[in-house]
Amino acid sequence: MRSAAPVRLGVNIDHVATVRNARGGVHPDPVRAALLAMAAGADGITAHLREDRRHIRDADMARIKAEVALPLNFEMAATDEMVAIALKTQPHACCLVPERREERTTEGGLDAAGQAAELGPKIAILRDAGIRVSLFIAPDLRQIEAAQALSADIVELHTGAWCDHRAAGEAAEAEAEFLRLQAGATLAATLGLEVHAGHGLDYATAEMIAGFEEIAELNIGHFMIGEAIFSGLDAVVQRMRACIAKGRADPRLEHVA
Ligand code: PXP
């Protein structure tokens, strides 16, 4: 057992909006889900306003900010339109994510190194407005160094490849990716960046990754919203919190694949 600071749980509510939009109405309401998640113990709400508005819409973002008393992590592409909306919304943090193929690294995260000239001014505008800036990147040492050079406050390490390899039973690849995540978290913390992680996490993988003492926050959506169909969102948030707390207190970093 050890006592590192607790890992914050950010609940991503995008997929509540996906279900709502499937019928074009107002039910289920993502803001209601955010309020439920808050009541169940979530530490933050994450929502992605995509350029195509495929799930979360502008009005959802404004309502989350107005009605939910938790830090809002506003996921967005680094476009002028999104920067303007973020400045109006004033979220706690903006997490810059790739939406177009050419903005991604081969691993799927934002190409912070290759896109530095485009990202730099946008990061500066957001930070000048008092918004913390997070970059969603692969656990690639070059990308992490680029995030620091761009004055990002936070890196969110992309756990999707690790989770995919585990799900496919590809033990060697999963192990290699886990080691990359571990090395990435260590480098980012050494460079003074706050370290978050997310994408594809479930109870087991969240518990494992919470064992990295550098990790301050996990952002989790798809699994939790899907699992809420069976167990209810409040029970899912509570169980996820318990898994994360267990992983943090008693890391089992040897069973990664
Ligand atoms: N973090 C970021 C930056 C994301 O883009 C997403 C997916 O929207 C998540 C975390 C959550 O991923 P998942 O829905 O697979 O849990």
Place of tokens 């920067």: 83
Q: How far is residue 205's CA from residue 211's CA, in Å, rounded to a whole number?
A: 10
Phi and psi at residue 120, in whole multiples of 5°? -50, -55
Assess whether pLDDT exceeds 60 at residue 1: no
Expressed in angstroms and rounded, the spacing between residue 199 Cα and the centre of ligand 1 is: 4
202: which 2 tokens? 């479930």
For the chain, domains (ranges, CATH) are 17-249 (3.20.20.70)
Residue 253 confidence class, pLDDT cut points 50, 70, 90: low
Q: Verify whether residue 75 is a known catalytic residue.
A: yes
Q: Is 10 in the pocket of ligand 1 (CB under 6 A)?
A: no
Q: How far is the CA of 171 from the centre of ligand 1 (A)?
A: 23
The full DSSP string for 136-190 is EE-S-HHHHHHHHHTT-SEEEEE-HHHHHHHHTT-HHHHHHHHHHHHHHHHHHHH
pLDDT mean over 126-140: 98
Mean per-residue pLDDT, 153-165 = 98
Distance CA 58, CA 50 (A): 9
At 153, is the pLDDT very low, low, confident or very high (cuts 50, 70, 90)?
A: very high
- Per-residue pLDDT, averaged over 5-31, amounts to 97
What percent of the chain is modeled with pLDDT above 70? Answer: 97
Distance (Å, rounded) from C-alpha 212 to C-alpha 202? 16
Per-residue pLDDT at 117 = 97
pLDDT(255) > 60:
no
The pLDDT assigned to 11 comes to 98
How many Cβ atoms sit within 10 Å of the Cβ of residue 77? 19
pLDDT per residue as tens digits for the range 43-102: 999 999 999 999 999 999 999 999 999 999 999 999 999 999 999 999 999 999 999 888
- Does 14 contact ligand 1 (Cβ within 6 A)? yes
**What's the pLDDT at 210?**
97
Q: Which atom of ligand 1 is nearest to the CA of 75?
A: 3
Report pLDDT for 148.
Answer: 98
**Catalytic residue check, 27:** no
pLDDT (0 to 100) of residue 102? 86
Among residues 15, 55, 75, 158, which one is catalytic? 75
Active site residue 222: no
Token look-up 């890992």 returns: 7
Does ligand 1 have an atom closer than 6 angstroms to the CB of 111? no
The Cα 122–Cα 5 span in angstroms is 31
Q: What angle do helix axes 58-67 and 80-89 make, rounded to 10 degrees?
A: 30
Give the model's confidence band at 152: pLDDT under 50 very low, under 70 low, under 90 confident, else very high.
very high
User: In the chain, which ranges are continuous DSSP H helix?
Assistant: 14-23, 30-40, 58-67, 80-89, 116-128, 141-149, 160-167, 171-190, 203-209, 222-231, 233-249
